[in-house]
Amino acid sequence: MPSAFVVQPRATGRAAEPGPGPGAAGAGSPAFAPVVALRPDAHARATDSLIRPPDTCFAPTARFVPPPRRTDAGQGEPPPETERPSETERAVATRLAQPRHPLLQPLAEFLDDPAVTDIFINGATGLFVDRGDGPRRVERWRAGESHVRELAVALIALGDRHIDDASPAVDVRLDGGLRVHAVLPPVAVDGTTISLRVPRMVRPSLGDLELAGTVTAAARTMLEGFIRARENVLVTGAAGAGKTTLLAALLAAVGPNERIVTIEDVAELTLEHPHHVRLEARQANLEGAGAIGLARLLKEALRMRPDRLVVGECRGEEVRELLSALNTGHDGGAGTVHANSIHDVPARLEALGALAGLDDLALARQVASAIGYVLHVERDAAGKRRLAGIGRPVVTVAGRLAMEDVACPT
């Protein structure tokens, strides 16, 4: 049976016309310019029975409507604080107002939930949603393996990429910041796996992290001091520990007259800052050409006169360019690295340095000179994220890199 999805070139110059079928946008609806077009006979199955068969009932997505402004006695006075929508409510309303591709409509209930951070579809096994307390199964979800595979192919195509048996694992970022990672069988042994990282609706500040218990009041004061002193910082932690969240909060505290340039493999950093330039790596096309890696982007960023140079995550040879930049007058920079603990950071950096052709002795001196502080974040069994430790890179008598603990204020 032919696939339900057909890959078409992206429309240029104007938005694509809505496709036919029961799921097509009506008059007055925002037009989409999708890379993936649905065949008329498969539209309903892709957007409804694909993952919501008739016997499956989903609760309607909650919609936030801001309260009307009061104009008592014609004075036009703003409503009291208790009647004003919160920042989260305003963010929800903004996201709900944005057009969404029909392929994502079955997931709207979770994408519109401000507490959701990740969505996982494990083939026909089920759907899991993480609201900060660990992945929880959605019992009412039903989907067959063929449907999940079609969804994965279509979502990856929306990000201008291609996934098939020859390229069974692909990572893309969709419009709006939604990050999609998909793996096809037989690499995914139990069926097609889709992982979605949902962008935060609210961009947290250090004050927000203090209220959430991620940092203490004293630790917040110390971190703000690092920003004012233009210290180069490295944020470390395991996957999902909150590295990007802490880094975004730190950069939000940077003065508005400074130019921040961020470089990421997949752009995730969104900052509350008026002068933020985002650069994103590009993978090779089907012919194997056109790739632009983080190391190349770092070289380009140095020509953009950044006041703050940030690498979203160091995972290869780009660590050499970052250390070189931070050692040549580009202070106030930052980056993130995966590490299990603050004392595992030296071994992790040595492994990255080896990929860049740096031996352990050269790396130790580069890191100790370039990085002022290392901030390690952890996520406990209950899903709570916290700043677990602060360290300072030092060079041992043997010339190797080590971490010196810095008292973390409580």
CATH label, 5-68+84-197, candidates 3.40.50.150, 3.30.565.10, 3.30.450.90, 2.40.50.140:
3.30.450.90
pLDDT tens figures, 250-283: 999 999 999 999 998 877 888 888 999 999 888 7
Which of 157, 270, 262 is closest to 203 using CA atoms?
270
Hey, what are 280's tokens? 């994103």
**Is 406 within 8 Å of 391 (Cβ atoms)?**
yes
98 pLDDT band, cuts 50/70/90, is low
pLDDT at 362: 92
230 has a pLDDT exceeding 50: yes
Assigned CATH for 206-406: 3.40.50.300
**Is 160 within 8 Å of 7 (Cβ atoms)?**
no
- Taking the whole predicted model, whether its pTM rises above 0.85 is answered as no
| CATH 3.30.450.90 placement within the chain | 5-68+84-197
| CATH 3.40.50.300 placement within the chain | 206-406
311 has a pLDDT exceeding 80: yes
Q: Which residues contact 77 (CB under 8 A, 6 or more apart)?
A: 70, 71
